[in-house]
Amino acid sequence: MKQNLLSLLRALNLLHFADRINFMRQQLLNLPSNRAFRKNFPDISLPPDYLMYESFSLNYEQYYVASRNASEAIADTIKKHLKVKDNLSVLDWGCGPGRIIRHMSDFFPNASLYGTDPNNKSINWCQENLNGTYNTNSLEPPLRYDDNAFDVIYGISIFTHLSEEMHDAWMAELLRVLKPGGIMYQTTHGDATKIRLNSDEVRHFDDGNIVVRGKVVEGHRIYTAYQPARYMNNLINSHGGVVLEHISPVEKKRIPPKDIWLITK
Ligand SMILES: C[S@@+](CC[C@H](N)C(=O)[O-])C[C@H]1O[C@@H](n2cnc3c(N)ncnc32)[C@H](O)[C@@H]1O
């Protein structure tokens, strides 16, 4: 039902408008708990509401507390594969307003942390409020970094908002800036998210093809892509990457979890 409504709004070019309405609805729904969070934790700097909503969800506790746990889980998964442990250079590709990177100095002590994102408001906020080095990038590569610059690169919910063309361009670019033996961690919409697709899309997905729902600004939260494992394996291998691990979670009814890819070169 919800997916049918979203498809209709997308077809009518009304999805950005509907997303703005949803933002205001979320502001109202979260108002009591967000006020309580601000009162209990006055020293925690939080990004403006729209930046938080656009990149995640508009609940301060989830943005801060749940995301700290998520950051630790991401770091632990990466560390299982990392050979070098000290003086790491770590890139958060698509860092948004810093939900994950703000915690990473606790889990990668002494690392040099970098964040990049096309949203200059998010990057300005990170520069003013968080430790680390923050840069903007364009929707299309290149990044400003040298070849083989990073021991670790992670991208949380970035490929899930890009076109097929950008999947190729960014996989090549991210592998360019990853050190040989470095670890890249990316999330995608895998099998567990198929419950959101209509029957034509499921057929396309099951044939090993990426499913893209566009008709809105590429890279925005409402531009969505779904990637079957066969597609991801081909994408990574065709750009010289090697899949170290693919974690495909089981379906949960309300919020389908994302697939995780650990990649090296
Ligand atoms: C769903 S948000 C996730 C933000 C952050 N990774 C997190 O987990 O909180 C998607 C982010 O990808 C960014 N983005 C979109 N296109 C991008 C691109 N070509 N390169 C890097 N980031 C991109 C958006 O600006 C946005 O901040």
Q: Does a structural domain hold residue 37?
A: no
Q: Does a structural domain hold residue 106?
A: yes
Ligand 1 atom 2 nearest Cα:
55
Token readout for 187 is 């999330």
Ligand 1 atom 25 nearest Cα:
119
Q: How many independent structural domains does the chain possess?
A: 1
Ligand 1 atom 16 nearest Cα:
219
Ligand 1 center–CA 86 separation, angstroms: 27
Residue 124 lies in domain: 75-264
Task: Give the per-residue pLDDT at 82.
Answer: 95
Q: Does a structural domain hold residue 12?
A: no
Ligand 1 center–CA 179 separation, angstroms: 22
Ligand 1 center–CA 161 separation, angstroms: 8
Answer yes or no: is pLDDT of 2 > 80.
no
> For the chain, what is the mean pLDDT?
94
Q: Does a structural domain hold residue 182?
A: yes
List pocket residues of ligand 1, CB cut-off 6 Å. Answer: 55-56, 93-96, 99-100, 117-119, 122, 137, 139, 156-158, 161, 219, 221
Q: Does a structural domain hold residue 20?
A: no
Domain with 260 in it: what CATH number? 3.40.50.150
Task: Give the per-residue pLDDT at 250.
Answer: 75
SS3 string of the chain?
CHHHHHHHHHHCCCHHHHHHHHHHHHHHHHHHHHHHHHHHCCCCCCCCHHHHHHHCCCCHHHHHHHHHHHHHHHHHHHHCCCCCCCCCEEEEECCCCCCCHHHHHHHCCCCEEEEEECCHHHHHHHHHHCCCEEEECCCCCCCCCCCCCEEEEEECCCHHHCCHHHHHHHHHHHHHHEEEEEEEEEEECCHHHHHHCCHHHHHHHHCCCCEEECCCCCCCCCCEEECCHHHHHHHHHHCCCEEEEEECCCCCCCCCCCEEEEEEC
Query: Using one digit for the tens of pLDDT, what is the confidence trace for 104-160?
Result: 999 999 999 999 999 999 999 999 999 999 999 999 999 999 999 999 999 999 999
Q: Does a structural domain hold residue 132?
A: yes
Answer yes or no: is pLDDT of 252 > 70.
no
Answer yes or no: is pLDDT of 260 > 90.
yes
**Which atom of ligand 1 sits closest to the CA of residue 156?**
6
Token readout for 4 is 């049918």
Q: Does a structural domain hold residue 210?
A: yes
Q: Does a structural domain hold residue 168?
A: yes
Ligand 1 center–CA 50 separation, angstroms: 14
Is the dihedral angle over the CA atoms 80, 261, 74, 88 positive or is it negative? positive
Task: Give the per-residue pLDDT at 18.
Answer: 82
**Which atom of ligand 1 sits closest to the CA of residue 166?**
19
Ligand 1 center–CA 154 separation, angstroms: 11
**Which atom of ligand 1 sits closest to the CA of residue 99?**
9
Query: Using one digit for the tens of pLDDT, what is the confidence trace for 37-92?
Result: 999 999 999 999 999 999 999 999 999 999 999 999 999 999 999 998 889 999 99
Ligand 1 center–CA 94 separation, angstroms: 4
